[in-house]
Amino acid sequence: MQLSPAIQELIQALKVLPGVGPKSAQRMAFQLLERQREGAQRLAQALTQAVEKVGHCNDCRTLTESPQCVICAHPARQQSGMLCIVETPADVLAIEQTGQYQGRYFVLMGHLSPLDGIGPEDIGLDVLAQRLSSEAIQEIILATNPTVEGEATAHYIAELARQAHIKTSRIAHGVPVGGELEYVDQATLGHAFSGRKIIEAN
């Protein structure tokens, strides 16, 4: 049996969403058409609006509607002299939710991946190098993902920072809070030991 073309096209189009396969796309399409027609229209408008309006911040490359994002435009953050390098805008959100960091960000929108043809310029490292030489940055915090590609990217940026004589740090790896040692992998536990902190006696 053939579904009508508009439904088929909707199912195909829904498969662009991450984690949505043919079965979920079909379920979503039927759900929208049966019970959520207003929601579907609102989604269509939101998609069109977002694609039209949202671009990248000129300073940090994150997704934003204005030429400069809220964080880059914040005076206190501009004077902090801290720059945190992350892979995605979602990482910025996650770090902001900790409330621990009051500096600015630089969002790579990916990581170095020579096999996929993603080189330094594709993740904005030319822009970053320029910022390092022109701005008064005291410290760079490397917060790329602790994956092979993320580590390689961090390594590359650390080298850039060394050439510009800027202090560079990497976020700590270790045992996650609330986790159990028994279930932590070897590499993480290794990092937790090598990065151990001395408990100061009173």
Question: In the complex, which residues of this chain contact a copy of itself (CB under 8 A)?
Answer: 1-7, 9-10, 12-14, 16-19, 24, 26-34, 36-37, 39-51, 53-54, 63-66, 69-71, 88-90, 92-93, 96, 109
**Shortest spacing between CB 140 and a copy of itself, in angstroms:** 20
Report the residue number, 63 or 175, with the smaller CB distance to a copy of itself: 63
CB of 78 to a copy of itself, least distance (A): 15
Residue 45 Cβ vs a copy of itself, minimum distance, rounded to whole Å: 8
Dihedral sign, Cα of residue 58, residue 60, residue 65, residue 70: negative
Helix (H, G, I), strand (E, B) or coil at 169: strand
We find the least distance from the C-beta atom of residue 67 to a copy of itself, in angstroms, to be 12
Strands 104-107 and 82-86, by their bridges, are parallel
Question: Would you say 104 and 80 are in contact if contact means Cβ atoms under 8 Å apart?
Answer: yes
Closer CB to a copy of itself, residue 93 or residue 187?
Answer: 93
Instruction: Determine contact, residues 24/33, Cβ cutoff 8 Å.
Output: no
Nearer to a copy of itself, 44 or 187 (CB): 44
Which CB atom, from 101 or from 156, has the smaller least distance to a copy of itself?
101
Buried (b) or exposed (e) across 70-84, using 16+ Cβ within 10 A?
Answer: ebbeeeebeebebbb
Q: Give CA–CA dist 12/26, Å, rounded.
A: 9
Residue 52 neighbours by CB distance under 10 Å: 9
Q: Tokens for 145?
A: 């993902």
Query: CB of 84: closest distance to a copy of itself in angstroms?
Result: 13
Q: Which is nearer to a copy of itself, 16 or 181 (CB)?
A: 16
